[in-house]
Chains A and B, each alone.
Chain A
Amino acid sequence: MMLAGDDEVLAKAASSDHAAFDTLYRRYVNRVYRYCYTHTHNAADAEDLTAQTFLAALESIRRYRGRGPFAAWLFTIARHKCNDYHRARYKRRDEALEKAERLPDLAAPDLAAHAYRQRIVDCVQRVLHVLSEDRQEAIRLRFWGGLNTRETAKVMGRSRAAVKMLVSRAIADLRERCLNEG
């Protein structure tokens, strides 16, 4: 069982102890990947951004002073990397398979339930892109990044109340557009 603040303790130790950094890395790599993936919709780019994020974190870990959540610090880096990616997309035109990763979930024999749920999940993913950027980002950080409201607020430079409202409005939008179909 990890104690509260364990990440921050590890992060302080990580500047001189790679094992501590590795522990943090293992703890966060999937979350950072997921967050990057929902920005890129491309597995290779998500891997690249994830790698960039952790390499930058490794280089900068000694400057982390533990005054905020480690997760927020790490995802701030990831967010910068993803913003770079978006700014650069109009210059980058690789032959991407945009919807690059699919988990068909067909291991679940209850295909009816799968299909019903998947339709909603498909819709949520599709409609998420048409929400305002702030709402998208709040949802990405909360769900794909797995951050709590405080951490999300820190990354976005917004108040906790603002993040709560962004998330709430985003979910209301998604409900209006997606729920209950089929």
Chain B
Amino acid sequence: MKDKKRTAEELEKYIDRPDSYASELDPALERVVDSLRHAASQSHPRPGFANELAQRLKEKEQTMSEKRFRPQWWQVLRRVAAGGVAVAALLALVLVAFGLFGGLEPEPAALDQEAETVTSFETVTATDGNFAGTEFVLATELSDEPEEAPLLTVLDVRLPRADGGQSALAAARNFGIADGTLYEAPNDPNGWIVMAEDGRNIVYRESDRPDGPIADLIYYNNPQAQRETGEPLPYAEAVQTAREFLQLPDDYEAAPEQMVPSSSVRTVHFYKVFEGHPIVGTEAAAEIAVSPGGQVAYARLMPVGVAPAGDPVRIKSDRQALDDLIHGESGYSFSYTYTASDPVQYFTPPPPEWEVGDAVTVDGWVNVLLPVNGGEPRVELRARDGATYLLTGPTVAELVDHSGGQIRVSGTVAEQKGPARWDLALASWEPLPPSEGQSGACHIGVFRRDVDAATLETDEGETYQLAYAPPELNGGERVEVCAEAFPAGDPVEWVRMASPPASEGGHSGSGGGGSGSVGVAETVVEAVAVTRTVTSSAGDGREVTESVVESVAGGEEGAAPASPYDLGEQVRVTGSLAGSIRVDGDRRDPQLVLLVDADEDPLTPAVAFPLTGDEALLEEMAEHYRLHLAVDGVVVAADPEPGGPDGQAIRVESFERVWPEQRLEAFLGRVQTETLEEREVVVFIDEETGQRYVLTTHYPGPEGEEQRWFVTGVVHPEETFAGLPLLEPAGISSGSNVDAAESAAELPLDKEIPVYNAGAVSGPPWMQGTLVIDDVVLGYQYRSVPGPDGDGEPRQLKPAWIFYGHNEDGTISFTIVVDATRSENGGS
């Protein structure tokens, strides 16, 4: 136990001070920490987001200071949430944006005769939705074909299960590694590595997840090709090279060129094609990097399998899909690639030039692979400068327990196996203290080039001579130089240089670098936009300053419970009604969900079943907002998003109140977090009666104990917890109006289901201006990894129109995917 505590203490110090703390940690743990740090650093908001939000905050602050109400969309959402719909209402809107309420979504209304239509122009300006104001230029032909397409089920296609690694060997042969040695993938019982003599290798990994094939992967690496420098291949050549190398079947096609090559390699994505329609998605199929010399340097493959799911469904034309998009009537997702205007260039020192027989001492990471069939381990050292050394000799087995750590080796160069790749006869070795193995420090300053030397003048006023100078770098440039040490008077053996410093020059945070290769920093961002709506009907002018509101379905955190029902099953389901009415012109669209308790624990989150059916019946149900209803109906298919109630909705046939006397009530009081029956719960104390209730949510939690809260909700007539009645909150708010109220009766009790007027807010700046649509194809968007709460359910893909294009100055290329299914199919 003491060891565990000490490890925890050491980890804390290492996490907080990785560069300065000389830890006694297992180097493998340090490596995990470094990987986590790197993983965290890979998430960046898109450019412009911070400024956009800053502007929103400024406007919000002005609004608050002026004490005026402006129905900006987020304020409206809060107000509505306080009234009792919170996230449910917002999500209902989102659901509608993606057409997930099945039959609830009416056919798109006839276009305004004065509005521009897609069919009669080459340029059209979007009128609504996130693209409002954006000018689309059609550089491709639209058509009305086809009229139907199948839904697809993602098959559980896994790699051939390796029998003692034999399947991995077979796969390696397909990659040209005919005589590879089979190794265990360290710490991965489902993985194998096949390594060729020259270092080419594959990592063959079977999924250990129960919820799909996503983690069945093959990585291929060709270290020699990865070190090539030069002009990247033309895209078409890279596609051809990749296709030939991978021997991809005909039902895979390359994605259109979207990425400006950021380094010497050219990256190509291949998508599986089903009956002529690509299945797009960042993780689908294959990603291949081709070197300037035409070799595949890196590949990542994932098997993708699909099959038709039932009869074909009617779909929109691409004209209609675009029309819906520009009128804000369709959900969509987009991805885009942009090229930074202020790129960061990375450099590494040139590889060492050893002669056979040289006695050398090198620091680096040691990597040990154990052969599956016994025999000598394969021990490789990767030096900080990128060079690799295959260690040989009778003592290499000593390093097995140090795999992943940093060591210093001494030995004799036995053979050169390629650029920056040697065999080294090991003479001795020693573990390196982590603080020595890390890049010791980085300094920012100005690079100076003289006739005989290069120097760094740091911002702190120090001057260091540099052991090497990238030939591409001009004197006077701002740089960040990292080295294990900055000795005074001696040349600095730097390991990484960036110009300009990443903190000053754009958004690419990538490290590494290479011998003289100059790349344009580039970031691929994929994101999803939803059509948000605003309403003015909720803007009654009352001042509400609630801070945070809570979902109606609270309880324990974790995965959403799965539906206990089968498709087509006739059910009688009891739950409370939530949702909203979306109004767009004359159209009223009830978007209802029934919050169904999935088990007997009153504190677990409810499953929110979307409700479909006769519109009049749904309108009638909406009158019982927040109350418990018993619904008779049939379980029907809905979108199979992971985390949903098994991709199900309930088509309502009839309903009735469970407890006719039940009503929505309002309370004023305070909360406190308590532990009851070994569960941490939030207890609400009604200040008017002193009654204590257990809230079916964790919010507001301990942070809210000092505030006064206005809670609306229903008291469960039968359920209790720890002897206390359960209060199911519909809305929780605090603020000046709550503080000022003398009783709950003074505050509004929103018994009516909220009504939203359709509208939209502007999207990010890149979506404005002019966007050129180069091509449009009918395809599918691959459903990627289930999230943290992945439910393991089979995933279904809907037909979608995929619009490829670029912005006016060519700095952004984009893909917009629009749901192609019609409303009667559950589409938008």
Show the binding face of A for B, using Cβ within 8 Å. 18, 21-22, 25-26, 29-30, 33-34, 37-47, 50-52, 54-56, 58-60, 63, 73, 76-77, 80-81, 83-84, 86-117, 119-121, 124-126, 129-130, 133, 136, 139, 142-144, 146, 148-149, 157, 164-165, 167-168, 171-172, 174-182
- B91 near A181 with CB under 8 A, answer no
Q: Say yes or no: A92-B785 contact (C-beta < 8 A), given A108-B263, A143-B40.
A: no
- A179 near B788 with CB under 8 A, answer no
Q: Indicate which residue in B36, B332, B593 contacts A124 across the interface (CB closer than 8 Å).
A: B36
- Bound-state CA distance A107–B339 (Å) is 12
Q: Say yes or no: A107-B522 contact (C-beta < 8 A), given A93-B638, A175-B32.
A: yes
Q: Which residues of chain B are near A91, meaning CB under 8 Å?
A: 87-88, 91-92, 95, 593, 608, 610, 644
- Bound-state CA distance A100–B515 (Å) is 31
Considering only CB atoms, which chain A residue lies closest to B283 in the complex?
A99
- A90 near B386 with CB under 8 A, answer no
**Least Cβ–Cβ distance between B822 and chain A, in angstroms:** 16
- A99 near B784 with CB under 8 A, answer yes
- A87 near B87 with CB under 8 A, answer yes
Q: Which residues of chain B are near A50, meaning CB under 8 Å?
A: 45, 49, 53
Considering only CB atoms, which chain A residue lies closest to B550 in the complex?
A84
- Asked if B198 is at the interface (CB within 8 A of a chain A CB), the reply is no
- Asked if B171 is at the interface (CB within 8 A of a chain A CB), the reply is no
- B15 near A63 with CB under 8 A, answer no
- A44 near B344 with CB under 8 A, answer no
**Least Cβ–Cβ distance between A130 and chain B, in angstroms:** 8
Q: Say yes or no: A21-B61 contact (C-beta < 8 A), given A43-B528, A63-B707, A125-B39.
A: yes
Further 16 A-B residue pairs, CB within 8 A, beyond A55-B60, A109-B515, A139-B36: A43-B526, A54-B57, A81-B548, A84-B551, A88-B553, A96-B333, A98-B785, A98-B786, A99-B785, A106-B267, A107-B344, A114-B510, A115-B221, A181-B185, A181-B187, A182-B201
Considering only CB atoms, which chain A residue lies closest to B193 in the complex?
A182
- B297 near A164 with CB under 8 A, answer no
- A51 near B348 with CB under 8 A, answer no
B140-160 vs A, CB cutoff 8 Å, 1 = contact: the mask equals 000000000000000000000
Q: Say yes or no: A124-B11 contact (C-beta < 8 A), given A59-B547, A76-B703.
A: no
- A113 near B386 with CB under 8 A, answer yes
Q: Indicate which residue in B46, B333, B514 contacts A95 across the interface (CB closer than 8 Å).
A: B333
**Least Cβ–Cβ distance between A9 and chain B, in angstroms:** 19
5 contacts between A and B (CB under 8 A): A44-B528, A93-B95, A98-B783, A103-B510, A104-B522
Q: Which residues of chain A are near B298, meaning CB under 8 Å?
A: 111, 115
- Asked if B558 is at the interface (CB within 8 A of a chain A CB), the reply is yes
Q: Which residues of chain B are near A180, meaning CB under 8 Å?
A: 28, 186-187, 367-368, 403-404
Interface size class of B (residues with CB under 8 A): 35 or more
- Bound-state CA distance A75–B343 (Å) is 32
Interchain residue pairs A-B with the least CB separation, the first 10: A109-B514, A108-B512, A93-B641, A90-B560, A43-B527, A111-B226, A109-B517, A168-B8, A180-B186, A98-B784
Q: Indicate which residue in B86, B94, B187 contacts A94 across the interface (CB closer than 8 Å).
A: B94
Q: Which residues of chain A are near B255, meaning CB under 8 Å?
A: none
- Asked if B74 is at the interface (CB within 8 A of a chain A CB), the reply is yes
- A37 near B43 with CB under 8 A, answer yes
Q: Indicate which residue in A83, A103, A117 contacts B509 across the interface (CB closer than 8 Å).
A: A103
**Least Cβ–Cβ distance between B55 and chain A, in angstroms:** 10
- Asked if B685 is at the interface (CB within 8 A of a chain A CB), the reply is no
- B226 near A110 with CB under 8 A, answer yes
Q: Which residues of chain A are near B332, meaning CB under 8 Å?
A: 95
Q: Which residues of chain B are near A101, meaning CB under 8 Å?
A: 42-44, 524-527
Q: Which residues of chain B are near A174, meaning CB under 8 Å?
A: 32, 35-36
Q: Which residues of chain B are near A106, meaning CB under 8 Å?
A: 262-263, 265, 267, 289, 510, 519, 522
- Asked if B125 is at the interface (CB within 8 A of a chain A CB), the reply is no
Considering only CB atoms, which chain B residue lies closest to A134 in the complex?
B557
Q: Indicate which residue in A47, A54, A114, A149 contacts B512 across the interface (CB closer than 8 Å).
A: A114
Q: Say yes or no: A58-B45 contact (C-beta < 8 A), given A51-B56, A86-B789.
A: no
**Least Cβ–Cβ distance between B703 and chain A, in angstroms:** 5
- B29 near A171 with CB under 8 A, answer yes
Q: Indicate which residue in B4, B88, B386 contacts A110 across the interface (CB closer than 8 Å).
A: B386
Q: Which residues of chain B are near A176, meaning CB under 8 Å?
A: 187
- A97 near B35 with CB under 8 A, answer no
Q: Say yes or no: A121-B38 contact (C-beta < 8 A), given A97-B528, A111-B265, A181-B185.
A: yes
Q: Which residues of chain B are near A77, meaning CB under 8 Å?
A: 548
- A93 near B639 with CB under 8 A, answer yes
- B42 near A59 with CB under 8 A, answer no
- Asked if B188 is at the interface (CB within 8 A of a chain A CB), the reply is yes
Q: Which residues of chain B are near A113, meaning CB under 8 Å?
A: 382, 386, 512
Interface residues of B in 11-57 (CB under 8 A from A): 11-12, 15-16, 26, 28-29, 31-33, 35-40, 42-46, 49-50, 53-54, 56-57
Considering only CB atoms, which chain A residue lies closest to B368 in the complex?
A180
- Bound-state CA distance A157–B549 (Å) is 19
Q: Indicate which residue in A45, A80, A124 contacts B39 across the interface (CB closer than 8 Å).
A: A124
Q: Which residues of chain A are near B781, meaning CB under 8 Å?
A: 95, 97
**Least Cβ–Cβ distance between B646 and chain A, in angstroms:** 10
Q: Which residues of chain A are near B786, meaning CB under 8 Å?
A: 98
- B608 near A100 with CB under 8 A, answer no
- Bound-state CA distance A124–B39 (Å) is 8
Considering only CB atoms, which chain A residue lies closest to B214 in the complex?
A126
- Bound-state CA distance A149–B12 (Å) is 8
Q: Indicate which residue in A54, A55, A58, A92 contacts B91 across the interface (CB closer than 8 Å).
A: A92
- Bound-state CA distance A39–B788 (Å) is 8
**Least Cβ–Cβ distance between A149 and chain B, in angstroms:** 6
- B229 near A124 with CB under 8 A, answer no
- A44 near B529 with CB under 8 A, answer yes
- Asked if B671 is at the interface (CB within 8 A of a chain A CB), the reply is no
**Least Cβ–Cβ distance between A155 and chain B, in angstroms:** 9
- Asked if B281 is at the interface (CB within 8 A of a chain A CB), the reply is yes
